[in-house]
Structure 1
Amino acid sequence: MMWLLVFLVCVLIWAGGTYWYLFIKPGAFSVESVRPPGPMELDQRKRDKVLKQGFTKEKIPKDLDAIIIGSGIGGMTAAATMAKSGKKVLVLEQHDVAGGCCHTFTEKGFEFDVGLHYFGQLHENAMLKVAFDQITEGQMEFVELKQHFDSIVIEDGEKQRDYTILSGKTEMERNLKKQFPDDVKAIEEFFKIMKITARQVALLGIVKLIPQWLALFLIKSGIADFCSSIFRLSESSATDVNNRLTSNKDLQMVFSYYFYGVPPKDSSCMINALMLHHFKRGAYYPKGGASEIPFHITKVIEKYGGRVLVRAPVSRILVDKKEAAYGVTVRKGDEHVEVRAPVIISNCGIFNTFQKLLPPEIQVKPEIQSRLDMLRPGKASFLLFSGFDATEEELDIVSTSIWLFKSNDMDGMMDEFFGMSKDEAPENIPMMLLTFPSAKDPTSKIRHPGKSSMTILTMVNYEWFEEWKDSRVRKRGDDYFNYKMRFANHLFDWACKHFPKLREKLVYQEAATPLTNTHYLGCNQGAIYSADHNLGRYYSEAMARNRCDTPVKNLYLSGQDMFSCGIAGALHGGLLCAATILSYRVYIDLMLLKKQLKWKKAKETARLAKEKKQ
């Protein structure tokens, strides 16, 4: 009888504790914190006061709870979530403007996005939309792009084949079936994979949040695999899955056209499926440009007593004798300013954090090296920014993003290109993304009348540019300039084949090499997508071990390295980091908010229907 009583008391305590944790314990997020968007701030001086606050000792908030290294979306998300939880945070950015890959720059009257070209999952009450509304308190507005958001162009010798990718709950699949009528079954199977990955990918986040010993037990025992096929999909090569589905090389290209430096044979089928599914309910662009994201998140951080300071390069993470992080040093001219806090979050990538910022005696520790051995550096990016004195209509440009390929054999052409010598590479680029940010944002016509901008992205080897890594930015010499312009000229000529009016209206052009990315964005070896997204990274055990906490007590990681590349991947890396530090139900709160908003919408719809009948 006594044991039964003890058991019942334990059950009641557990149930009460769970109820308190889920429904009573104060959280960071709430419906009430979201308010209607205010008028867009067009005064650049006022925007600079938010985005370009230079670091000084006097601006450091007192009694800091956390320091965040890097103002990319991962760091800003972690910072805003912690700030809304009552923590006083300081974000330190080495560049002269906040935002990381979300920042924009303006030259000669032309505005360019750096790393944000478009993203999805922002339809009403989508998880990403709910998260954005919380970290910006509802101030971000997004423009939904045309349904035809992507074009895939395969230039196989003299033959050119164009495929359109449409957004839409049913339209995306139906449109592909029209273009590939002999592969209907393959498309249906791939869309089943997309649905499974979208619904069950949260389980890969959960293995990063539950105790590591429990996650490894569930994976190694086979329980995790028995419960969900997501663990098998994450470990499946995209090429293997594509070959199983179809022998049509063009369709295989469609299943894997989002390039991030890893050929399909070495990448996870799950990641490629997630990327396409990401746009199933629409593609979006920030109204006012990508810099709106750091602009509004900074305001939220400041609202709760925090700061975002730029021109604040962190030179070292401070670690005490007990191997616990307790602060950072910031380089200010010839001085190194020490800033202390009980929690340090690094959003500058695992390689920069472990190999450059930690003290040498900590870097060599086996537990640090084993974490590094789980990942490898990502492929570098090359970007070309072009400005035109002409309108969208005069240039015949579109908001659709154009993905250009020289072949339908992604594995073959990537292996061949990345295996080329430094001198062969510039004239043999096999793929590029062509996008017009000015055509995506309707406010561009107001903010930059009569002007249009184009961004081109491709992947390159860092080693091709490495000989100039120790030279100063903008003073790298004629050899460097001429070499990078060989890449730039090839990319621009390729773009002009598809948009002939570009050439005569070109008035500004700048090429960003891996060295540029390293200088301005702090990317390790110029990789804007951070660590390599190879298949080994997405093995279940690797996912469980690659988590936000680190072998150094009080030091945490955020951003793309914690889950996947892109704005959405980095944002989730920030949420995972905040959840780990706060021991807080971040995702449960977001799901409950999503349900609450859905019920609210249903009630409103029912009320309007009732009024209409009356």
Structure 2
Amino acid sequence: MEKGNGKYNISAIQLQGFFFYGPLPFNSVYLCKSYIVRNFPSYKQNKPSGHYDAIVIGSGLGGLTTAALLSQHGLKVLVLEKHYTIGGFTHVFKRKEYEWDVGLHYVGEMHNEQKLLPRLFNHITKGKLQWKDMGEVYDKIVFEDKTYDLVKGRKNLVAKLKAEFDSSSDHDAIDRYMESVKNVITGSRNYYGMKVIPGLIGKWLRNWTSRKFLKYSDSTTLEMLRTFTCNEKLIGVLCGQFGDYGLPPAKSSFAMHAILINHYFNGGYYPVGGSAKIAEYIYPQITSGGGDVYSNAEVNEIIFEGKKAVGVRMIDGIEMTADRVISNAGVFNTFQKLIDNQHPLVPKLKGQFDDLRPSEAHLCLYIGLKKSSQELHLPTSNFWIYPSYDHDKNVSEYIDNPDENPFPVVYISFPSAKDPDWVNRFPGNSTIEIISLARFEWFKKWEDTRWGKRGEDYEAMKEKWSLRLLENLYQQLPHLKGQIDYYELSTPLSTKNFTGYQSGEIYGLEHSPARFRNEYLTPHTPFKNLYLTGQDIVSCGIGGALMGGLITSSAILRKNLIKTIMK
């Protein structure tokens, strides 16, 4: 960590944003140094005991959603989280007088409580989670020659795009594009809905009912867009949010692109009180059903009796039993790390995931400023900054020579400006986050060093990346020069350390056409009573993880939970 080149030594307790002496009671909320601290049970201080109906590995949103839904249907669930706090990419961290989210930067579809996503959030948080509308313009797509505003409302967005691209051929392309996005969404219902059905029948039904969806998912985003238009500027603008799913147009599936674009048609929303509120409000739904959630609880291995999963073995050797085990650790971690490779069913996995790769890793610069968002005129809109309209060329050149080429995408978010409760928790200061692409291999030589103690050469490299990212901020908001009090860079090694993803990825599996053709990305596994949940069985992001939890819970309970929730 650094402020410029300055270095700080901060204890593990300080890293959670508070100071104390003596033991703390569990399930408590403390006010200390103007921080609201959410203190969840730690496995290091207290071990769970007894038999559970289900054990969930990982407390990301997919795992918490699964645990909450199962708990609400009478199951006693244990959630085990490796990190020092729960929530996965919805958790926050604190330094000094600042707080940052690490993965939730905005969410779509919260405008209409009759839609599934807000209804599901209400269901698992008992209606406590509130959302703030980011305003008419939620994303700004920035190129050297022009900035394009993405406005909420499908009709408004179409009108805005047609005003920017005024030829009749462009207008026709925009209409055909919007119609294809609509077709993907319609087709996705069967594609995802059939994932609850196991075995050969499930595979047959998915293939039969998802033909319309697969026609689109088999095409890359660029291939599909070039059937509508040859206007490379229009294509560049339409793909201006590709960083939200991590693959440039020539590599990403058009289905993923369409799902993401549709998700934000009615604007962006941010959780009131910050993204940590999500885990805070889901947690009681699990414990009120007799379940438990533990941080600092690293699972070493899934235990089997023959072909049946019966529990887990922790990193300290302690074993815990359950009727079923649910992994939110990701497909690769589950099958490559948590299952003994001598298990007789492991050969059955051979080839199932050979066509899949992890998504790309990233850098994130967390910035703290000693003035409020209002004083600094920080926007609620996100910035997506590109060196040219050719996203694939930008990425390729940067990957080949990152020191000599500009970042292919820079995303800037202003969380303190989005959250109306920020001024109550952290008056007089504000925060910014800047994200860009990075390769895990660039940091691999420090892989075996400890977080926070990786050496001076590592810190120097972080400083170099930090200054480059700051230049992109100053180009957009030059008045912020001299206003920054603190900054800290997260690298792919940080992501690996805290999430367990082996390549420091944030989106799980990459969203290529091959991903959507893979028949094994469902809640079901070859192992009896072992299930998968989270973004890998649906798609990346908050919505994907949430839906993953819903699909897995429906499969386990053998109930149509969508019908229950929509009531």
> TM-score normalised to the size of structure 1?
0.83
Whether 1:419 and 2:400 are equivalent positions in the alignment is yes
For residues 349-390 of structure 1, give each alpha carbon's deviation from its aligned partner in whole angstroms, at most 9, with x where no partner exists. 111111111113139822223333242122112111010111
**Which residue of 1 is the match for residue 473 of structure 2?**
495
Please list every run of 5 or more consecutive structure 1 residues that lacks an aligned counterpart in the other structure: 1-40, 594-614
Residue from 488, 513, 535 that aligns with 1:535: 513
Indicate the SS of the match to 2:497. Answer: helix
**Which residue of 2 is the match for residue 229 of structure 1?**
212
Residue from 323, 329, 332 that aligns with 2:313: 329
Indicate the SS of the match to 1:134. Answer: helix
In structure 2, what is the Cα distance between the partners aligned to 1:51 and 1:126? 32
In structure 2, what is the Cα distance between the partners aligned to 1:219 and 1:198? 15
How far the C-alpha of 1:583 sits from its partner, in A, is 1.4
CA contact (8 A) 1:238 1:264 kept: yes
In structure 2, what is the Cα distance between the partners aligned to 1:553 and 1:44? 47
**Which residue of 1 is the match for residue 10 of structure 2?**
none
| 1:121-132 alignment runs, 5 A limit | 121-123=109-111, 124-132=113-121
CA contact (8 A) 2:370 2:429 kept: yes
Rate the CA distance shift 1:48–1:368 in 2: closer, same or farther, 3 A.
farther
Rate the CA distance shift 1:242–1:510 in 2: closer, same or farther, 3 A.
same
For residues 217-236 of structure 1, give each alpha carbon's deviation from its aligned partner in whole angstroms, at most 9, with x where no partner exists. 3566xx436xx522211111
In structure 1, what is the Cα distance between the partners aligned to 2:284 and 2:100? 23
Residue from 544, 565, 575 that aligns with 2:550: 575
Whether 1:396 and 2:377 are equivalent positions in the alignment is yes
Indicate the SS of the match to 1:105. Answer: strand
Indicate the SS of the match to 2:564. Answer: helix
Letter in 2 for 1:492: L
In structure 2, what is the Cα distance between the partners aligned to 1:300 and 1:59? 20
Structure 1 range deviating more: 474-483 or 42-51: 42-51
Rate the CA distance shift 1:45–1:562 in 2: closer, same or farther, 3 A.
farther
Q: Say what the alpha-carbon RMSD is for the aligned residues.
A: 2.1
Indicate the SS of the match to 2:146. Answer: strand
CA contact (8 A) 2:69 2:124 kept: yes
Structure 1 range deviating more: 529-538 or 559-568: 529-538
| 1:285-434 alignment runs, 5 A limit | 285-320=270-305, 322-331=306-315, 335-362=316-343, 365-420=346-401, 424-425=402-403, 428-434=406-412
| 1:12-91 alignment runs, 5 A limit | 43=31, 51-55=39-43, 59-60=47-48, 62-91=50-79
For residues 440-481 of structure 1, give each alpha carbon's deviation from its aligned partner in whole angstroms, at most 9, with x where no partner exists. 001111111111101111121111111111000111011111
Letter in 1 for 2:395: M
Rate the CA distance shift 1:328–1:47 in 2: closer, same or farther, 3 A.
farther
In structure 2, what is the Cα distance between the partners aligned to 1:205 and 1:78? 16
Letter in 2 for 1:588: K
In structure 2, what is the Cα distance between the partners aligned to 1:477 and 1:181? 54
Whether 1:214 and 2:189 are equivalent positions in the alignment is no
CA contact (8 A) 1:319 1:359 kept: no
In structure 2, what is the Cα distance between the partners aligned to 1:350 and 1:270? 21
- Percentage identity across paired residues of the two chains: 34
In structure 2, what is the Cα distance between the partners aligned to 1:46 and 1:164? 36
Please list every run of 5 or more consecutive structure 2 residues that lacks an aligned counterpart in the other structure: 1-28
Whether 1:507 and 2:485 are equivalent positions in the alignment is yes
Rate the CA distance shift 1:306–1:364 in 2: closer, same or farther, 3 A.
closer
**Which residue of 1 is the match for residue 151 of structure 2?**
166
Residue from 558, 562, 567 that aligns with 1:587: 562
Letter in 2 for 1:323: K
**Which residue of 2 is the match for residue 15 of structure 1?**
none
Runs of at least 4 residues of structure 1 off by over 4 A? 44-51, 56-59
CA contact (8 A) 1:51 1:298 kept: no
Greater Rg over alpha carbons, structure? 1
Whether 1:564 and 2:522 are equivalent positions in the alignment is no
CA contact (8 A) 2:31 2:37 kept: no
In structure 2, what is the Cα distance between the partners aligned to 1:47 and 1:292? 14
How far the C-alpha of 1:87 sits from its partner, in A, is 0.3
How far the C-alpha of 1:42 sits from its partner, in A, is 8.2
**Which residue of 1 is the match for residue 439 of structure 2?**
461
Indicate the SS of the match to 1:55. Answer: coil
Residue from 249, 259, 281 that aligns with 2:232: 249
CA contact (8 A) 2:34 2:425 kept: no
How far the C-alpha of 1:294 sits from its partner, in A, is 0.3
Indicate the SS of the match to 1:112. Answer: strand
CA contact (8 A) 1:224 1:231 kept: no
In structure 2, what is the Cα distance between the partners aligned to 1:244 and 1:206? 29
